[in-house]
Structure 1
Amino acid sequence: IFITHKMDEVMAFSDWVCVLQHGNVVAVKRTAETNPNELARLMVGRDVLFRLEKEPRAPGDVILSLQNIYASNDKGLPALQDVSFDIHQYEIMGIAGVAGNGQQELAEVVTGLRHVRNGYVHINEVDLTNCSPLEIIKSGVSHIPADRMGMGAVGDMGVADNIAMKGYRSAPLADRGLLHPQRIIDFALTMIQQFKISTPNATTRVKFLSGGNIQKTILAREIDACTGLLVAVYPSRGLDVGATESVRRRIIEQRDEGRAVLLISEDLDELTSVADRIAVLYEGQVMGILTPDQVDIETIGLMMAGVGHTSPDRLSNPASSTKARGSHHAV
């Protein structure tokens, strides 16, 4: 018996497939006689798109600018080395690479959780290098962390309290240092409906929700608070096909509404489907920046292994493919 929600594993390893939904068997199929689309529909009760279509957008102003970033990991060893790139309004920048090549440290540098040894972090043209997480939050940055329960949510708190976690300092959820419980519940109910969070009620402790609904709870809070930059780290990891589609749609919506998105993922299908540009990290260095139509398995595989480096013109700003923007775009 092989239990999974990953379609490629189902199709590759199984002879028969039994589909469960809400604890009930909804179908039993011979693997050779079905396909991922049919299985996804049986799992979630509707058609699921594995690749999302998005409208092309002209990049706007620079929201995040990293210039010559050097940072260490928790052991004091080099984690990021001379990392430079910009992300604009109406743009999703994907970060690809084998796990452990600086992705986590990159997210922490941008969100104020890790100091840099050298270089600059500019958000909305303001130098926020080595500023506190609170200062980064106040600048309009939201963070969907890789560790949902360790960093993204408090399991023993209710859904409403988790959703309100970024709004407790100010109106309408608080006034003169006092929280308004009913306003928090009302706000949470709106978010629960908007993000389709499946929960018995707004006070249910988050640890009792499924992984997909925990992620939707974090998404609701972070997207509601996001005014400039969304940092999403492995946002669909471990989720079923329905929750994965929902998360990716929300990320694209943020881009379409004028935010900048830093999307860190190990899923190349996710990056090529969602991102406008993809930077490949290897041992803390950017090996190159590609557009999805430039990505092929051989090229990106070599770059993820540290082989091959794109020419300087392919590291250029997307707002001007024929004109270099400046030295801090070269990696």
Structure 2
Amino acid sequence: MTQAECKKGLQGGRLFAVKSRYAMCTGTQFVQTWLRRGRPVGQSTFTLWVIETVPKKNDRTIRVQYLFTDFVKTGSTQTGGLKVDTDGDITTWPKNVVKKFGGQVPPTLSFDALKARPEYVHTILVAPDQGSGKDDLVNMVYEPFVKLTFPAPYTSPDTGRVGVGFLAGRWDSASYLFNKTGDGVRAKRGGAALPVVPTLPYSSKAGAEERAAAQHLDDARLRPNTTKPVNAAKSVPGFDLKRPLHRLQHDAKRSKANRRAAIATCVKHWGRDYVTSVPGVRRECDEYPFASTYEGAAQSKYEPAKPKDNFSARPIRDTDNGAGGTILKLFMDRNRILDGFSGGDDVDAYIITIAS
């Protein structure tokens, strides 16, 4: 993630900006009013960008880059004596995990010294076997702060420890994601990612391999009355942050129940021969929400408070169904999507967008 991408993402006063599951940032401009005998005599400003990335997908190291820019001063100041103390608070869950640090948070330096040397990198690594749940999950919040100290005889109202924003990180050792063995080195198993909600892209455009699958999802979302099973109140999740999808990985029985419920719907409405009933076309029963989610067709069986028949199933060409499944699998792997409730809590989720 570049500084320009961070700046663009933070427009509109956003507290943080996200590029992917492996890059996010925060930042703010600091304005200093210089006073002598209680009267303003000068002003100085600088901007601090804090960019968090996971540079290597087979590495558990999270990198935090501090970058100071846009140094300006006017009027009467003494910026060579203005001390800028930067630090970061780190909170993890579980609380007492051992963290290995590298690089450095910016040391306490003057405004002028930071202008001469504006970039610093801090790294955090958490080894496996310290997390919770089946996926050995460790979550982190990283909060950078700045405190200013003015040289005598100047004073300023712009003192105190000020938060820049916040960042988040996560480590896991999930057995179903890449680097599950650490190439035989237990201490290197698993990986790091950022616990943001990613978007799975599908396309219903002409020529898209997954077109029929994407059209099915679009119908389930926008035209639920045209889908089966019949449900006048059908409202499928997965298309906005308020109702995301959650990966179902640790309960094979529930996943199979989702699939059975979908197939039963295809058989009921298209007949037992739906696979070959269209000459020259081999079809498969496509379902949404996916069988690999907690929101799948059998959700109400496992969660009685959830609405029944809040899904859609229909036969589509097997090649479209296969392409949609491949996109889903690659998306899960590349984004380190965890079982959504692997520790009993809502730990991971994703949403879908359809290009048309």
TM-score interval, smaller chain: under 0.3
Q: Which has the higher helix share?
A: 1
Give the TM-score taking structure 2 as reference length: 0.22
Whose Rg is larger?
A: 2
Give the number of the structure with larger relative contact order, counting CA–CA contacts within 8 Å between residues 6 or more apart. Answer: 1
